[in-house]
A = this chain, B = another copy of it.
Amino acid sequence: MIRPVYWYDDTVVMIDQKALPARESLVVCHDYTDVAAAIRDMTVRGAPAIGIAAAMGVALGFLKHGGESPGNEEITLERIRKELAATRPTAVNLFWALERMNNCFKECRNDGFEAIAKNLINEAQRILDEDIDANRRMGRVGCNLVPPGGAVLTHCNAGALATGGYGTALGVIRAAHEAGRHPRVFADETRPLLQGARLTAWEMVREGIPVTVITDSMAGYFMARGDIDLVIVGADRIAANGDTANKIGTYTLALLARAHGIPFYVAAPRSTIDVDTASGVNIPIEERDPDEVLRVAGIETAARGAAARNPSFDVTPAELISAIITENGLIEPPLDRGIGGLFAAHTKSGETE
């Protein structure tokens, strides 16, 4: 099993996703600042994995610094959370995980350093375990949407590497594969950082699922030929009305899918749904270094003197989404009502919000 982030011997260990697929190497974080740097430079990426890494970063930071100044645990924790919160703005799982770690702290703040640290480590581990469990449940919910032998187009990497270890969009594809439905995957390469060609293809090859890499510009061509049966992508943040921020290019795929009558699904855990964000216009979109666009794999490719823009995400309006696949079932249009219902039901039944 692929484990992109895990706790080991009072460190946070991550697969270095920047080095894949050429080199499979691990990065060991000894303090929360290492974790923050790893999120920022995309050693770890993918909304759920960022959330898990941040939770473990909080636990690690508290373990290293929480005992330095007894009585000031709250200040220490706030400093740690602030640094982690400032890494990347779009994926809401980051803020959701930090909030959950803070709630955990509040419940045990008077129990002394060792008990607090232990609770925080356990809570971070719980976030990881729950994420894998949610992915597997999403897989069961979504796998019947894949027709036998069907061709699924996906974008970026919403796989084991982007989560606790099974995947959202790729989790659904894995589940369809495990159910003997023989899915075939078209993977958009996903410029600028090529997560599709590098990471999604790597996961699918390991899994024995047939995968064909295409450039981001080819999706329309294959849809027009009837070569794509459905699209499944992950999400970085889903607003209360169902508008979905995901890797740049997702919006274009959704429009293309609509134009060709192809279903377009978003697979995401509830932790990616942000009911405090009313609609897509309220989602902050990270813009990264233009050099990522002017270079490929570190090599300067564009003409000198040219500018570049590098928004990392775009927003797909709710009306282009056929359904959202969550661990609690399929949310079908109208998405705003489905999302409202899901959160109301789970608040009432006493589950963690």
Contact = CB atoms under 8 A, between A and B. Distances in A.
Interface of A: 20-22, 187-192, 194, 197-199, 201-202, 204-205, 210-222, 224, 248-249, 251-252, 255-256, 259, 293-294, 296-297, 299-309, 311, 314-315
Contact of A255 (B188, B191, B259): B259
A339 to B, nearest CB: 22
Nearest to A298: B299
Nearest to A22: B300
A191 B252 CA distance: 16
Contact of A217 (B197, B210, B248): B248
13 contacts: A189-B302, A197-B294, A198-B303, A199-B303, A205-B303, A211-B306, A212-B307, A212-B308, A213-B308, A217-B249, A220-B251, A255-B255, A297-B301
A198 B302 contact: yes
A213 B293 contact: yes
Residue from A210, A307, A314 whose CB has the most chain B CB atoms within 10 Å? A307
A309 B189 contact: no
A307 B216 contact: no
A336 to B, nearest CB: 20
Given A214-B308, A215-B248, A307-B211, A255 B301 contact: no
Q: Report the 5 A-B pairs with minimum CB-CB distance, sorted nearest first.
A: A217-B249, A202-B303, A201-B306, A205-B305, A201-B303
A192 B9 CA distance: 44
A265 to B, nearest CB: 19
A217 B194 CA distance: 12
A83 to B, nearest CB: 29
A15 to B, nearest CB: 14
A219 B219 CA distance: 14
Contact of A306 (B197, B256, B297): B197
A152 to B, nearest CB: 15
A167 B213 CA distance: 32
